[in-house]
Structure formats: structure tokens, C-alpha cells
Chains A and B, each alone.
Chain A
Amino acid sequence: MTDNLKIGAWMKRDIVAVHASMSVKEAAALLVDRRVGTLPVLDEDGVLIGVTTITDITHIFLPDFISLLADIDFVKDFGALKTPSKENLERAETLTVADIMEEPMAEEEDCSLVRALSVMEKHNLADLLVVRDRQLVGIASRVDIGRAFLTTWLKAEA
């Protein structure tokens, strides 16, 4: 397998990462300013210990009943919940990244594109983290991997 078919060749090396002690509010500001969707969480030595995403953080603001109901098509007007509730906003202020981060899903640089895409599909990931000796070295989005696929496909045609 040539390097072109490995994730290392297509990942971004410019990474926006955070520490677990950072407040969720600061993390949110980082997501907005740097226009990323996934924030890897690193310890002091740069070891990947967690991950959080824009989806995880926005979840804090969803009404309680969303997680309880299978279907909400019949709710046309959210009434008192048109805007995030006061309780949810207050809670968001007090949270740190450590409170909401999840177990990271990561691959090595020599992971094949097919495996990378499959892992993202199965774990419903927007971005895949890439590590070398547990140190974070890159990040690849679905678009990155999709572009890698399409590029190699088009080249093979030509």
C-alpha cells in the first residue's frame, strides 16, 4: 500500500487542542474562532486523553425531553424552550472540558483510508484523531478523507 492510501498523507497537522481543566465556555469560544468542530483534549505531556465536539457542547442546551422521546414531530412550538432554559445556561457556565469530554477514538498514521472511513462511519465521528505513541500528530475530517478517496479514484481513472 502506498503512503497515498494512508491517513497520514491526508490529515491536517495544524491542530487546535485543549486541556481538560479549560472551561466549556472557553472551549466554545475556541470552536467558534478557529472554525473547527472537534477539540482533542491533551494532558501536560501532549498525550491524547479525551475528545469533545461542537455537538457535545450544544447538547447542553437541548431541552430535557429530547433525549426521552423517540419522536418529536408533533412539537410545533417549543414554548418556554424556544431559547435555552436558564438552568441549562447556568449549568453550562460551571462546566469544564473534563466534565463533558469522552473517550477518544484515534488511529495511527499508517491507518488505511478505508479503515479510517469505516471507523468514522461506525462511531459517527466528524473528525478522526491521528496519534503516534499516544501523542496527537494530526486530525482528519470526513471531508479530508472523502477528498483523499475521490482524488485517488479520479487519478486511477486517468
Chain B
Amino acid sequence: MELTIDGRNVPFRAGQTVLDVARENGIYIPTLCWHPRIGPSSRCRLCIVEIEGTRGLQTACSVLAGSGITVRTDTEIVKTARRMTVENLLYDGHHDCIACEANGRCELQDVAYRLGIREYPVVSEPAQLLDDSSAMIVMDPNKCIVCGRCIIACNEIVGNDVLTFSQRGYRTKIVCDTAVPMAESSCVQCGECLQLCPTGAITEKKSAGKGREWELEKVNSTCPYCGVGCQVILHVDRAANRIVRISGREVPPNDGMLCVKGRFAYEFTESPKRLTKPLIKKDGKHVEVSWDEALDYTARRFKEIKEKHGADAFGFIASSRSTNENAYATMKFSRAVIGTNNVDNCART
């Protein structure tokens, strides 16, 4: 099956939208409300295209590809309409890219750039107040484009049912529960809203000012908390040796979703309370020693105890917090080096 986009014949599969087909073939169609995990909602009107034989402009995210149809994504009408839409969004808010936490990962910024918008009318209304009441999440209504992604994220994707639209038309805004500050709402700070927010309207409070998107290295890993094993992307400032923020990877088992611990409880690694040197108890007090001293001492005591009391006088507890490799090493050490099967982990507790 084939259709024509901008004069090119391109193949498609049943069930694909015009947007899917265009993206698969490298044809640029801007979107703001669309997201792979949300699907079409046809709110932002940016993916509009002309389709021969239909009236007006169609939203590519919601029109299914059909055999033989002819689509144009680059006509003056389309370009003008898109530009006008984005200019209106920019005019509506206070979009200060220099100060914005989302600079570099803002879809509105990207779309404006792609559409060649250099200047836009400046706002006349005073800025609205931020909601920075909660521990982890900042909501800035001045940067909200009311695309509805956070609402779907909160209500349909993670089912936490907190965010909702309030008021009507031009004054529509996103609120928590019955328009209470986030800290007083039923929000559990999972952060799915900020993961799916296309602009700087919902951002991580703790990451503010700690590094631009393009400065941070992305490292794929697995969350260290419960047994779900959520896949995460660690955004790392190499120079400062610090994890700046965490986002969910859109792969099994979590498909991008996280909880408050997985997304926000990461600074323990850089805590000044971390143990940094081996310790040995001397005269009832722990004192810092070298690795060699600690290892030699431990090996000597282990040998003495083994000689005097046998291998079964040992007990080894592997950490269920640590890696498989560390658990295996503990297991091998107890069996191959000491000679006891007295090895267990905290599975029972």
C-alpha cells in the first residue's frame, strides 16, 4: 500500500496514521500534543496537512493513511497556519528560554525554530504565580500550552487522577484536584506529568540550574528501589560527578513510568555521609585504614576462625540491593574459599 506525501510515493501499513508514515519517511510534521505513549488527541493543531479531496486542513496524527491519497505538508497555507498557531502559543505565555529549565528539551522551542519564528508579539498580561509548593515538582502556568499531555499522563497512564483542567477557553489551566496547591493535593510526586510535558511548564524542582540538557550525559540503568526494575535514564554531569535528574525509559517493564523514589531519590550516592575508607575497630573505635590493612586483617581473622571452628562457623549475607555480580561473588567466596553453604540474602526479611 502506498500514498503520496509531498510528491513522494511512500509505503504504509494498515493502522498507521499519516503522521506515522511521514515520520517513518523523514518528512517533518511538527506536533506538541502528540506523544507515542499518548497517541492522537488533535488538540494542538500543529500537525495539520492538506489532503487532496478533503475540506480544510486535517490533523495528520488522527487521519489514517489510505491507499492512493495525496498529502501535502509544505504548502503556504499549512505553513502559515502552523506559524500562527505557534505564535499564539508564544504570545499566550511567558516563554523565557534563557531562564527556562526545559531549554534544549522543549518541544515548543524546537517547533518555533523549525518554523523559522524569530520574533513574536510580547505578552501584555502579568505572569501567573508558579506552584512550587511540592517537594519535587514545579508547575509554571506561564509556560503551559494546555496540550493536555500531563492530564492524560496523570489520569490515564499512571492512574493517579490528580491533574485536571480548570476554567474555560483562554483562561484554561492545569490544576491539582480542586485547584489546590500541589503540596496539598493528592499528588504522589511520581513525575509522569513532567516526563510528558513538552515545555517548561512542569519541571523537576531539584534539577533547576544544575545543567542544560545538552551538557548532561545520558546513562541507561535500572532503578535501585523495589523489585519492578524500572528502566531509567540518568542525566549525569560528568565534571561535577553528579546525577542531575532521572527520567523513565520507554521500554519494558515500566514503559517510561516511575514513582517518587525512582525519579527523585538519587542523591544518596553523593551524600557526604558515605563511607569512603575501610574501617577497622581498634580499642572499641572505628578507625580509617588502607585497603591492604583491612583486607589482610580480615583474611587473617577468617583463616584463624576457619582453622579453629571450621567452615560452618561462618555466615554470609549477600545484599539484595546490590548487583547479581556481587551476589555471585559472595556466593562463590562462601562456597569455594571458606567452604560453607551458610550463605543467604535478605529474601526472607
Q: Do A and B come from one complex?
A: no
Give residues in B with beta carbon < 8 Å to A. none
